[in-house]
Amino acid sequence: MPRIASAPKDKLDPIWKALADPTRRSILDLLRDRPRTTTEIVDAFPHLTRFGVMKHLDALREADLVHTREEGRQRVNSLNVFPIRQIYERWVSPFQEVWSSHLLWIKELAEQEDSESGTNSRKKKKVRPLNLQR
Amino acid sequence: MPRIASAPKDKLDPIWKALADPTRRSILDLLRDRPRTTTEIVDAFPHLTRFGVMKHLDALREADLVHTREEGRQRVNSLNVFPIRQIYERWVSPFQEVWSSHLLWIKELAEQEDSESGTNSRKKKKVRPLNLQR
DNA sequence: TAGTTACGTTACTATTTACTAACATAATAA
DNA sequence: TTATTATGTTAGTAAATAGTAACGTAACTA
């Protein structure tokens, strides 16, 4: 398992893995509406077998995106949005800053190129406002 | 290819796929700081080969998470946060509502169980405030 | 009690993904 | 020009992932 050794084990990794599959995201969308029993979820994906759907449910449970409680012989699965919140705090929120500074850079670049029009800028080294050299 | 037929092709799918890998997320973190040449990125992952890192870069480019521009014989890779924004708008923002209503339900459940303590609630069907029956 | 239903598992296969090693090319520097 | 450096590619392997088919079990129901 070289990949696990490669990157530092991310705590959010199971969440990303779970969200990477379109079927699993569909299940989450389904549960967003209201909780569903396992059979209800299985029936919602007629092109997959029971086992296939349940494997996806396992992945979602491991990422804590889905909570399951027993109700007689049924299992009721419900959405837990907390991990999505974590993804947001770790990944969206910190990138908002870059988001705005990136827009700023585009603006500056556009103005720069505007004042340079006519010259052969293909070979020219255009240095970004951010530090690039080692 | 049963999986592609299974779930409706999601426009955000390449973004999710790209973000699912911890190495790729590390690359994004690296680029968040400042843009880097391909070699700089490769050097940042000494346990991976050049080809391995470049495959990850390809995936990030396909998801439009990384932009690459030529600079002489160098390629400068920079972060594009727009797809992260899209993920947020499609997945985090809509779940905020569920987030708060879920908290509300937990509160109600706790109160309900509080008033029921002492009875055998194992076999009892406890109906959620949300609609569960078909 | 006998049948049905909801849930889960075992065993196996196909596909995709991640990866290494070695090779190829083009721009720059001595 | 020759060497070096930055980048990219070809070919092939190992492992993770997603999937099916068939079987097992326990709780309801007629």
DSSP bridge partners of B76: B37, B69
Looking only at the bridges linking them, the beta strands covering A74-79 and A36-37 are: antiparallel
B-chain CB neighbours of A59 within 8 Å are: none
Poorest-pLDDT segment among B35-39, B79-83, B127-131: B127-131
Q: Which residue has the tokens 């029993």?
A: A37
Bases of strand D lying below 7 A from some protein CB: 5-11, 15-22, 26-28
Is a pLDDT exceeding 50 seen at residue A120?
no
Tell which residue, A94, A103, A26, has the closest CA to residue A66. A26
Q: Determine how β-strand A74-79 pairs with β-strand A66-71.
A: antiparallel
pLDDT 10s digits, A42-92: 999 999 999 999 999 999 999 999 999 998 889 999 999 999 999 999 988
Instruction: Kindly indicate the confidence band of residue B33, based on its pLDDT and cuts at 50, 70 and 90.
Output: confident
End-to-end CA distance of chain B: 32
Q: Which of A21, A23, A91 is closest, CB to CB, to B84?
A: A91
Rounded Cα–Cα distance for residues B44 and A56 (Å): 34
Return phi, psi of residue A125, to 5°: -80, 120
Structure confidence by residue, pLDDT tens digits, B100-109: 665 555 555 5
Question: Where does the pLDDT of residue B98 fall: very low under 50, low under 70, confident under 90, or very high at 90 and above?
Answer: low
The average pLDDT across A109-118 equals 46
CB-based contact A125 B80, cutoff 8 Å: no
Cα A26 to Cα B8: distance, rounded to the nearest angstrom: 9
CB-count exposure of residue A80 (10 Å: 0-12, 13-18, 19+): buried
Q: Does B127 touch chain A (CB under 8 A)?
A: no
Query: What pLDDT, in 10s, does the model give residues B37-75?
Result: 999 999 999 999 999 999 999 999 999 999 999 988 899
User: What pTM does this model have?
Assistant: 0.74
